[in-house]
Amino acid sequence: MLVGADGAILAGTIGGGAMEGRAIDLAREAIADGEARTGSFRLSDPEQGDAGVCGGTMEVFIEPLASPPTVLVVGAGHVGRALVRLATFAGFRAVLSDDRVELCAPAIAPGADAYLAGPLLEQLGRMSLSPRLYVALVTRGYAIDVEALPVLLRAPVAYIGVIGSRRRWLTAVKSLREAGISDADLARVRAPIGLEIRAETPEEIAVSIMADIIATRRGAAIPSVMRPGLGLADR
């Protein structure tokens, strides 16, 4: 049986009645949290809370059919192009965005599932900024980051990372504070982006970024020596 997020049966059945209704409730929970689960039902005595009177028991396996999480790569430079390739290899949906239309294209940056060419704020307005979205700002300048971050920090996205040196990030922080962004919100940002693995090439930097994104997705504990420094204490 196929069940939609609103509880509507899209196809099939597992027998109808109260038992099917309870399975639908479990299916909606699975859709909400993305986790598979099983439901076990007795079919003996409704007065005791059972889901039917046919006798016996029934076990239902419920699996959410969610689309893969998305990595939004903002910046179609060397690191952005490498990150698109690695994100798709790791099983994520990769979306590439850049205001430079000539760079944000399959011929220049192959492998993305979607290309959002044009002004960044317009593109963000067309996206679902959901908890299944991981955002990597690998842009050519902090002004782009400062433009995008207030929008991203108002959204429940799973991850926000910004490329660049500590000095570049502190320059961005100054502008963001002046715009009213709190330190509590800024603490959500991974800057410099990626795990500290002494990466040098675009491909190595992409590996460090994807490792951080995967760790965030899986809830892994990362040793402090490997975490990027936010630099928020440096005023």
| Host domain of residue 99 | 70-226
Compute how many other C-beta atoms are within 10 angstroms of the C-beta atom of residue 91: 9
Identify whether residues 222 and 146 lie together within a single domain.
Answer: yes
Q: Quick check: is 235 in a domain? A: no
Return the CATH number at 145. 3.40.50.720
What is the reported pLDDT for 17?
Answer: 77
Identify whether residues 55 and 81 lie together within a single domain.
Answer: no
Cα–Cα dist 32/99, whole Å: 34
Pairing of strands 93-98, 37-42: unpaired
Nearest to 78 by CA among 86, 69, 70: 86
Domain tally, the chain: 2
What is the reported pLDDT for 6?
Answer: 80
What is the reported pLDDT for 230?
Answer: 55
Identify whether residues 162 and 204 lie together within a single domain.
Answer: yes
What is the reported pLDDT for 189?
Answer: 94
Identify whether residues 159 and 46 lie together within a single domain.
Answer: no
What is the reported pLDDT for 235?
Answer: 38
Q: Quick check: is 215 in a domain? A: yes
- HSE (side-chain half, CA atoms, 13 Å) at 206: 23
Q: Quick check: is 233 in a domain? A: no
Identify whether residues 121 and 175 lie together within a single domain.
Answer: yes
Rounded to 5°, angle at Cα 234 from 149 and 223? 80
What is the reported pLDDT for 38?
Answer: 87
Q: Quick check: is 232 in a domain? A: no
Identify whether residues 28 and 80 lie together within a single domain.
Answer: no
Cα–Cα dist 158/145, whole Å: 17
Identify whether residues 118 and 134 lie together within a single domain.
Answer: yes
Identify whether residues 124 and 97 lie together within a single domain.
Answer: yes
Identify whether residues 117 and 189 lie together within a single domain.
Answer: yes
Cα–Cα dist 160/142, whole Å: 14
Select from 62, 83, 103 the last residue of a domain.
Answer: 62
What is the reported pLDDT for 225?
Answer: 67
Q: What is the pLDDT of residues 122-137, one digit of tens each?
A: 888 888 888 899 999 9
Segments in the chain below pLDDT 70: 32-33, 44-53, 55, 225, 229-235
User: Which pTM value belongs to this model?
Assistant: 0.74
Q: Quick check: is 119 in a domain? A: yes
Q: Quick check: is 203 in a domain? A: yes
Residue 44 DSSP class: S
Q: Quick check: is 191 in a domain? A: yes
Q: Quick check: is 124 in a domain? A: yes
Identify whether residues 24 and 114 lie together within a single domain.
Answer: no
What is the reported pLDDT for 229?
Answer: 61
Identify whether residues 106 and 54 lie together within a single domain.
Answer: no
Cβ-based neighbours of 64, under 8 Å, separated by 6 or more: 27, 30, 31, 34, 35, 36
What is the reported pLDDT for 66?
Answer: 72
